[in-house]
Amino acid sequence: MSRSKFRVDNALYAFTGEETENKSWKAALTQKEEVGKRLERHDLTIYDPVTVDIGESGFGWMLTLLESLTRYWIEENLRRKEDLKREGSLSLQLDLFAQEPSGLHRRGYLDDILLFTLTHSYRVKTSSVEERFLAGLLIAMKAMELAEAYSLPLTQFDKIDSIFEG
């Protein structure tokens, strides 16, 4: 069986219709990724995650933002690790009342970037069970591709429902 059958862009094309594709193209042309500006955070405490509304932007834009957000946290993590090497320790400001973020190493950098991204800084709004199911499938496929492309650990992610709103 061809490996390309399991690529998320092929699945997206196979599972979505023309209307959804048009929404994705429109979002890609009219919206800016700029996940760093979209993400409201202080250090590793996320106040307002990047949110995608499937009804407005389609599945393609959802996947584009997930990849951009993952790259954002990879770059942030590299900076954190450089600071750790240079200074010997990292200061880390966490929310006093919230749980420690998933994927965080005890030394203050991210051990599991995908887990952190999906759990804390990414949300998807859906309007139907079918939309939610397809979004979950595409996100899981995209996570596998990102893990392979960026050599990230891919742990069991049983909290996928926490991504969804609506």
Contacts 24+ apart (CB under 8 A), 105-110: 108/80, 108/84, 109/77, 109/80, 109/81, 109/84, 110/44, 110/73, 110/76, 110/77, 110/80
Phi, psi of 40 (to 5 degrees): -90, 115
**Mean local confidence (pLDDT), 90-115:** 73
pLDDT at 81: 87
pLDDT digits (tens, 9 = 90+) for 19-29: 777 777 777 77
Residue range 108-141, pLDDT digits in tens: 778 889 988 998 899 999 999 999 999 999 999 9
Chain Cα centroid distance, residue 133:
17
SS3 state at 92: coil
Query: In angstroms, rounded to a whole number, what is the distance separating the alpha carbons of residues 126 and 158?
Result: 19
* pTM, rounded to two decimals: 0.85
